[in-house]
Chain A
Amino acid sequence: MTSRVPSLILGRLLIALVTLTIVSFAVFFATTLLPGDTATILLGQAATPEAIAGLRTAMHLDDPALLRFVYWIGGLFRGDLGTSYANHMPVATLISGRLANTLKLAGLTTLVSVPLALTLGITAAMWRRTLYDRIVTIATIGVISVPEFVLATLAVLVFAVYLKWLPALSFTYNVDSFSGLLRAYAMPVITLTFGVSAQMIRMTRAAVIETLNTPYVEMALLKGASRPRMVLRHALPNALGPISNAVALSLSYLLGGVIIVETIFNYPGIAKLMVDAVSTRDLPLIQSCAMIFCFGYLILITTADIVAILSNPRLR
């Protein structure tokens, strides 16, 4: 029997590519809807009509939208993200440092939340219908149901206002020692970890329980395997696929979470850059940030799907 896996994965990648094209269309045309003439914004109210007309030609603003879209995509592939309207710096320069900051934040959150969430999710499934499980379930529902900014506000209240352990704002330029690093990242990471883990715990728990309900696990129980052995040796290997799927999906929550968290803690990441770009209507910057976000999201979702395909032995 020939394996169907390569063709399935190829198909999934193709779908991701089609999606990316549709998304870039959407991003481009949504941002061209922005009111106001770009050339006038750049040159200011006092500019002469000739100067404005010259700039319009230079920036291809008079070309049809479809042509501008092609220019834009071509630029993206060459790594040319355009020039910021607000401060005339290349968008690539503006973004690079900020992107690294956001990736640091996301990486730290992943390091903290994945082990935490998997432990809680698997143990909750193991001791299903106990008080422990009930508490974990209700706590995760609670966290999921609350907007990120409320989590952040509560974190500030508890750790900065009442306990006075941590600063309420994040100062990344002040990271020269380990404790400084810890203090700078603690609040944003705590807030994001709460949100990400809650999702992950729920999905992990559901995935393990799903496998626990299968006949072969019942068989393991009948032959006298202990509960931890039944879960860890028999159920877990088969739940790994859905679990890694859950991990990838929950991590995509980070993309929404950082927008709020970076704003509230004044963290110099790419989401903050984008929120600021929205208020200054800085078109090329918004487009590039939006594309980066969508790209990251798509990578995570596609990874989740591919892991699900790879871990299904029936497809091998």
Chain B
Amino acid sequence: MKTHSSTEPRASTGSRASTGSLTAWSGYRINLVGLAAFSVVLFWALVALFAPYITPHSVGEMIDLDYFGPMRPGLWLGSDYLGRDMLSRIIYGARYTVGISLAAVSIACFTGVVLGMTSAVLRGPVDMVVSRILDAMNSIPSKLFGLMVVAAVGSSIPVLILTLSVIYVPGAYRFSRALAINIDTMDFIMVARIRGERLPYLIASEILPNIIGPVLADLGLRFVFIVLLLSGLSFLGLGVQPPYADWGALVRENIGGLPFAAPAVIVPSLAIATLTISVNLLIDNLPQKIRDRSAS
């Protein structure tokens, strides 16, 4: 990064990004909304990480004689349709929702970004073929794709991770290719080419450092999409299968409590909402320097 800090890839065109109002003053300072959003994301990450140490009850144990029990001391989030402790189930659900989504988004973005930068550098037939195929994949609605794969090979956690990442490769590809093509026209790339540098060096050392900020922001957005799709599939009964349950599956299994507004169906919905909304807000309020770096 430091080698061509002097060739800063064009100043970003003002605060074109949709909600740059509070971050208009540049620099690496983060505003209040961003900070609050960050704390929520961090909270769920820690919950997912330390789940076995903080659950008050066993996940599968039926401890309440009543089902869809209300919130009360000892059962802070009530009980589910079998009388199990909802708090413990939410805590474990965080593991599946956050874990699967994180794994999928890492695979998707890694593949997409590497392919995108490669296409941008090579251009020509490679770019043409890869772009066409990935565009075609992009024109299959994501839920439909998930539905078809689950119908074909059944649902297990590895299959889910792979499916989710395949679905989001085209998006990551398109985004990073567009960024990389902008960088590819810069003089320092030309110099590197003339120097005789090869593809791996070009993409890893010349292009990647210049697009890493927007790429990371894009990774965050894609994480949200994946959480939404995973929850949607689980809600349809096609995602995480019992005895495991992510938040989407928790909503599904407790949907019978909806007419009594049971916490068992509301709390997992809220958990999904807090996670995705705060990731979105965090990205929207990222310091300008990170978000707009070379982004057009």
Contacts and interface: CB of A to CB of B under 8 A. Distances in A.
Contacts of A33: 152-153
A82 to B, nearest CB: 16
A30 B259 contact: no
Interface string A277-305: 01001000010001001100110010000
A245 B259 CA distance: 40
Interface in B1-49: 13-14, 16, 18-19, 21
B269 A148 contact: no
B196 to A, nearest CB: 36
Nearest to B252: A149
A30 B277 contact: no
A172 interface: no
A34 B232 contact: no
Contacts of A294: 139-141, 144
B23 to A, nearest CB: 12
A150 B148 CA distance: 23
Nearest to B273: A146
Contacts of B232: 147-149, 256, 259-260
B210 interface: no
B265 A153 contact: yes
Interface string A1-35: 00000000000000100110011001100110111
A255 B141 contact: yes
Contact of A256 (B13, B142, B258): B142
Given A22-B132, A210-B16, A263-B236, A31 B152 contact: yes
A141 B149 contact: no
Nearest to A22: B136
Nearest to B135: A19
A202 interface: yes
Contact of A255 (B144, B277, B281): B144
Interface string B255-267: 1001101000110
B152 A137 contact: no
B147 interface: yes
A30 B235 CA distance: 22
B133 interface: yes
Interface string A124-157: 0000110000100110011011111110011011
Contacts of B147: 259, 274-275, 278
B180 interface: no
Interface string A34-55: 1100000000000000000000
Contacts of B217: none
Interface of A: 15, 18-19, 22-23, 26-27, 30-31, 33-35, 128-129, 134, 137-138, 141-142, 144-150, 153-154, 156-157, 161-162, 168, 202, 205-206, 209-210, 213, 252, 255-256, 259-260, 263, 274-275, 278, 281, 286, 290, 293-294, 297-298, 301
Interface of B: 13-14, 16, 18-19, 21, 132-133, 135-137, 139-144, 147-154, 224, 228, 231-232, 235-236, 238, 248, 251, 255, 258-259, 261, 265-266, 269, 272-273, 276-277, 279-281, 284
Given A202-B18, A293-B144, 14 more contacts: A26-B137, A145-B277, A149-B231, A149-B235, A153-B251, A153-B255, A153-B269, A210-B16, A256-B144, A275-B236, A278-B148, A290-B140, A290-B148, A298-B139
Top 6 closest A-B pairs, CB basis? A22-B136, A145-B276, A33-B152, A278-B151, A145-B277, A150-B269
